Amino acid sequence: ADTVESPCIDVCELDEQNVCIGCLRHSDEIMAWPSLDNDGKQTVLERIARRRASSPSGTLNPSSEGAEF
């Protein structure tokens, strides 16, 4: 079986809800990712899709305040 790829995009910064502004995973999901089976990873990806859909700009933190470039 193919391994589900991590949604990490190397923008690793947590917002006030402990959700990564890059991949939209909660910190608990990020820590659990390596030990999840493919079904568990798919579940996390579905949660990410719901978070993205419920956010007007497609990210949880649309402002660039505090962003480092």
- What percentage of the chain exceeds 70 in pLDDT? 78
56-63 long-range CB contacts below 8 Å, 24 or more apart? 59/21, 59/24, 60/15, 60/17, 60/19, 60/21, 60/24, 61/15, 61/21
The answer, yes or no, to whether residue 57 has pLDDT greater than 90, is no
Q: What is the pLDDT of residues 25-43, one digit of tens each?
A: 999 999 999 999 999 999 9
Q: How confident is the model at residue 1 (pLDDT cuts 50, 70, 90)?
A: low
Residue 47: its pLDDT value, please? 97
Residue 59: DSSP 8-state:
S
- The mean predicted confidence, pLDDT, of the chain is 85
Residue 2: its pLDDT value, please? 80
